[in-house]
Amino acid sequence: MMMIPLNITKTIHDWLYSVMPENAASITEMLLIAIAYLALFAVAGLYLVLLERKVAAWFQLRLGPNRVGPFGLFQTMADALKLLSKELTSTDKTDKFLYNLAPFFVITTSLIALSVFPFSKQFQAFDINIGVFFLIAVSSIGVIGILIGGWSSNNKYAMIGAMRSGVQTISYELSVGLSIITMVLLTGTLQLSEIIEIQRTGGWLIWQGHIPAIIAFMIFMIAGTAETNRAPFDLVEAESELGAGFHTEYSGMKFAYFFLAEFINMFIIASIAVVLFFGGWLSPFGITEGITWFPEVLWFLIKVLIIIFLMMWFRWTFPRLRIDQLLTLEWKYLLPINLVNLVVMAIIIWLNLTF
């Protein structure tokens, strides 16, 4: 069957510039892109929460959400409406400005990071030649919102959770960064769209880079899970020790922002893994020409969901680490392995042994 190529972004672009002045068309395009990404942000966050609950239920041999809507599909919408309707409360001794700023700080950095991902050949808001560097820089800012929220709450549990977050993020960012640098060394570019194009002819980078690429992926997944403060690395909000950690004093929609940002950060980590290791939006069957933009997006999302499932598998398999075990894992094991792996990758490239 013949597939008709569909470039919806170019169609909208041409139509806008034909019906309105150039400046107005440019502003309208920016607004449409912002609305599209906000919608993606909201829908992805809501249904990743539902997926988490279903996966948890599957691992624990129970049903999970099954009452609100068919198969519980509207459960997270009901939860979101509940949080929207709840009163926003705080204690008397909070730093009001910073307390209110922290949730927006966390959620805004996650939304900015989403903008550089190539969901398909045509669906990418911000394609820059330093895309990988931009991602690392922006995603590192989110921890500042957690630190601000924990400190401004004037609560000892929130403060301990925020300090743990700072220690954990600074530590595991090294392993995330070195894993990414290992793959950048292999591709020779920081531009995400170019990294995917390299995989069009040579195959996925996880196979092109031999064993060092596989090791880089394994370390990236461990460190990325720690970066998102998810179990078994969730010492930042350890309920049995700290109540709710850094967002103990938050309620209503401000709490929902922190909660939503965690799942979007998980989506971001999975998206980085898909672009750097598994070909991004490219079909796994080598069919890359003559297909529409929707299947490209579909392939990207399927790969992302598989990686997210793997991260959820971590959560419901391993017990929470102690803080000393958390730091020992990074500084004594992951970081040295990563450094050696980077050198081995450099030698492979120097000897021209890649596929």
Each residue of 308-346: pLDDT tens digit?
Answer: 999 999 888 888 888 889 889 999 999 999 999 999 999
Q: Identify the band that residue 3 occupies on the pLDDT scale cut at 50, 70 and 90.
A: very low
Do residues 136 and 220 touch, judged by C-beta distance below 8 A?
no
Is there a domain that residue 112 lies in?
yes
CA pair distance 346, 222, nearest whole angstrom: 22
**Arithmetic mean of pLDDT, 195-213:** 90
Is there a domain that residue 43 lies in?
no
Is there a domain that residue 128 lies in?
yes
CA pair distance 208, 205, nearest whole angstrom: 5
Structure tokens at 112: 């900015």
- Of residues 141 and 275, more confidence is placed in 275
Name the DSSP class of 24.
Answer: H
CA pair distance 329, 256, nearest whole angstrom: 31
pLDDT at 196 over 90: yes
**Arithmetic mean of pLDDT, 86-102:** 86
Is there a domain that residue 304 lies in?
yes
Helix (H, G, I), strand (E, B) or coil at 160: helix
Do residues 168 and 235 touch, judged by C-beta distance below 8 A?
yes
Q: What are phi and psi of 105, to 5 degrees?
A: -60, -45
Q: Which of 20-34, 131-145, 209-223 has the lowest mean pLDDT?
A: 20-34
Is there a domain that residue 54 lies in?
no
Which of the residue ranges 93-102, 196-205, 211-220 has the most confident prediction, judged by mean pLDDT?
211-220
Mean of per-residue pLDDT scores for the chain? 86
Is there a domain that residue 70 lies in?
no
**Arithmetic mean of pLDDT, 73-86:** 88
Q: How many domains does the chain have?
A: 1
pLDDT at 10 over 80: no
Angle at 126 between CA 122 and CA 128, to 5 degrees: 105
> What's residue 210's pLDDT?
87
> What's residue 345's pLDDT?
94
Is there a domain that residue 216 lies in?
yes
> What's residue 355's pLDDT?
62
16: number of Cβ within 10 Å: 17
What are 144-194's pLDDT values in tens digits?
Answer: 888 999 899 988 888 888 888 888 888 999 999 999 999 999 999 999 999
72: number of Cβ within 10 Å: 18
pLDDT at 7 over 70: no
Residue 254: domain span: 91-350
User: What is the residue whose two structure tokens read 């993020």?
Assistant: 169
User: What is the residue whose two structure tokens read 């890359």?
Assistant: 288
pLDDT at 287 over 70: no
Do residues 78 and 228 touch, judged by C-beta distance below 8 A?
no
> What's residue 143's pLDDT?
86
- State the virtual CA torsion across 76, 81, 82, 84 in degrees, nearest 10: 130
**Arithmetic mean of pLDDT, 202-223:** 92
Is there a domain that residue 296 lies in?
yes
pTM of the full predicted structure? 0.89
